[in-house]
């Protein structure tokens, strides 16, 4: 199983960060995606290469500020769990942690790279808003 984790510190309070991160239809605003579509507990994301992934929304907990999802309907992906947490840093800021566990493990690295870029953009967006 490929397991990756990226994080970023954002100088904004957790509720402000979660307002954007927790809006699952807006992830393409900060993650390298071209679109997100949410219907109930389902989401479809489209990548800049044109590939679309179907996802089951596993956890969407506003009190925990946690989002978890699973890529489904793709025979090439035999296991997947993505998790994004917005944590209170105790000093008025936030730490956003994005982790992915999946098979094939090679793809975990690719999603980890995208998450790193996404988190950097999220920080830039929120701190310069």
Query: What is the 3-state secondary structure of 21-74?
Result: HCCHHHHHHCCCCCEEEEECCEEEEECCCCCEEEEEEEEEECCCCEEEEEEECC
* Contacting residue, 25, 64, 73, 113, with another protein by CB under 8 A: 113
Looking at beta carbons only, is 76 or 90 nearer to another protein?
A: 76
User: Could you say which of 40, 91, 106, 129 contacts another protein (CB under 8 A)?
Assistant: 106
Among 3, 35, 74, 124, binds another protein (CB under 8 A): 3
CB of 27 vs another protein, minimal distance in Å: 12
Q: How far apart are CA 59 and CA 124, in angstroms?
A: 26
Going by C-alpha positions, the residue among 117, 113, 119 that lies closest to residue 97 is: 119
Applying the rule CB under 8 A, the residues between 28 and 87 that interact with another protein are: 32-33, 47-49, 51, 76
Residue-wise burial string across 56-74, b where 16 or more C-beta atoms lie within 10 A, e elsewhere: ebeeeeeeebbbbbebeee
Residue 95 interacts with another protein (CB under 8 A): yes or no = no
Nearest distance, CB of residue 96 and another protein, angstroms: 16
Question: Where does this chain bind another protein (CB under 8 A)?
Answer: 2-3, 6, 32-33, 47-49, 51, 76, 103-107, 109-110, 112-114, 116-117
């Amino acid at each position: 199983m490929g397991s990756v984790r990226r994080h970023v510190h954002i100088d904004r309070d957790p509720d402000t960060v979660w307002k954007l991160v927790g809006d699952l239809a807006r992830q393409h605003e900060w993650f390298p995606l071209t679109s997100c579509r949410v219907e109930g507990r389902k989401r479809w994301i489209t990548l800049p290469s044109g590939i679309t992934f179907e996802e089951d929304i596993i956890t969407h907990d506003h009190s925990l500020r946690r989002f978890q999802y699973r890529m489904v309907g793709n025979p090439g992906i035999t296991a997947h769990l993505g998790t994004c947490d917005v944590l209170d840093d105790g000093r008025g800021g936030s730490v956003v942690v994005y982790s992915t566990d999946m098979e094939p493990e090679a793809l975990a690295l690719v999603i980890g790279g995208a998450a790193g870029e996404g988190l950097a953009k999220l920080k830039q967006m929120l701190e310069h808003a």
